[in-house]
Structure 1
Amino acid sequence: MSKVSVIAKITALEGKRSELIAAMGPMMDHVEANEPDTIQYILTEDTTDENVIWMYEEYASQEALAAHSSSDTMKELGMALRPLAGGRPEITVCNPVRGKGL
């Protein structure tokens, strides 16, 4: 069982980044309370584009990522972000190789 990571870029509609971040709250809470195999789930603001947020996610396994991605909370998040986002998130799935904390 090897770890898997995700880097996601989410672009908000012009001026909607704060609302988009607030809409992420239920998912952030869900991950913390209900996903023990989600190792890291970090929401960050882009420093050069005021409409972009980035998610860095690390999972204990591909199965943990699949459980996260198919959760009811993820489906609800998609609906909550739809009126705030300027399109679908750009998702990159990676295999962590080496690093501090890995």
Structure 2
Amino acid sequence: MAQVALLSRVRVKAGRGEEFVAAMKGVLAGAEEEAGTLLYVLQRARDDAESFWVSEIYADDAALEIHRRSAAMEAARPVLTELIETAESLVGDVVAAKGR
């Protein structure tokens, strides 16, 4: 089964960027404990403090579902919903990657 890649682009409400980063730190901490979460990276645009993207790679679809239902995501979801102005996500299969 192919690894699953998820890329999300997020714009938060004006002046709420630091709150978003703080909320995402809990999600990142939870992802550290998920064996099937292979990569979870929060990135911020240099020229726009309210523009972010998240890069994720999961071992398979089941690992993605475990992450979506995790306690960390459940705890963060209400806060993130309040902070996010717009979001879009792409889900696909990993076809090539450079490991570290």
Q: Does the alignment reach a TM-score above 0.5? A: yes
Write 1 or 2 for the structure with the bigger share of strand: 2
Q: Deviations over 1:8-44 (max 9, x none)?
A: 1121101111111111111111111x20110000011
Q: How does 1:18-57 map to 2 (within 5 A)?
A: 18-32=18-32, 34-57=33-56
Q: Which residue is equivalent to 1:69?
A: 68
Structure 1 residue 94, shift from structure 2 partner: 1.3
1:47-81 deviation digits (Å, cap 9, x = unpaired): 23321111000001111001111223212211111
- Listed one character per residue, the Cα deviations across residues 78-102 of structure 1 (whole Å, up to 9, x for unaligned) are 1111222114x31110111113129
In structure 2, what is the equivalent of residue 90 of structure 1? Answer: 88
Tell me the distance in 2 between the aligned counterparts of 1:96 and 1:46: 24
1:7 pairs with 2:15: no
Q: Which amino acid aligns with 1:71?
A: S
SS at match of 1:18: helix
Structure 2 Cα separation of the partners of residues 93 and 38 of structure 1: 14
**Greater shift in the superposed pair: 9-18 or 74-83:** 74-83
Root-mean-square deviation over aligned CA pairs: 1.5
The number of residue pairs the alignment matches comes to 100
> In the aligned structure 2, how far is the partner of 1:72 from the partner of 1:82?
16
Amino-acid identity (%): 29
- Counterpart for residue 81 of structure 1: 80
